[in-house]
Amino acid sequence: GAVVSQHPSRVICKSGTSVKIECRSLDFQATTMFWYRQFPKKSLMLMATSNEGSKATYEQGVEKDKFLINHASLTLSTLTVTSAHPEDSSFYICSARKGGDGQPQHFGDGTRLSIL
């Protein structure tokens, strides 16, 4: 149980394009979803936390207008990278967590975003 599906797994697009990444919890309801960015050989950097039906809470230094997060239902959150540029190229990973104290975060397989 606790499967998180992230789509697409890989995106290559031109500079200036907007890219949408989907994160779905397949067999549980995710009260909270998280978006991370991971640079090569580095740890995960939390970008934002989103609760269903609420605005996302962004970490310091993360541009809200650049990285649009929508958490429309208990099983779906989306991250849209608007007007992407080469410096936005990275590995983006989502995770989802059930409600309740001590619940672990379950991760998707990530999206490799390459902006040319």
Where do contacts with other proteins occur on this chain (CB under 8 A)?
4, 6, 31-32, 34, 42-44, 46, 49, 91, 93, 95, 97, 99, 101-110, 112
Distance of closest approach, residue 34 Cβ to other proteins, in angstroms: 6
Q: Which is nearer to other proteins, 84 or 111 (CB)?
A: 111
Q: Which is nearer to other proteins, 82 or 108 (CB)?
A: 108
Dist CA 104 CA 116 (whole Å): 36
Distance of closest approach, residue 8 Cβ to other proteins, in angstroms: 13
| Long-range contacts of the stretch 53-58 (C-beta < 8 A, 24+) | none
| Residue 9 burial class via C-beta count within 10 angstroms: exposed 0-12, middle 13-18, buried 19 and up | exposed
Q: Which is nearer to other proteins, 8 or 99 (CB)?
A: 99
The amino acid present at 82, given as its one-letter code, is: T
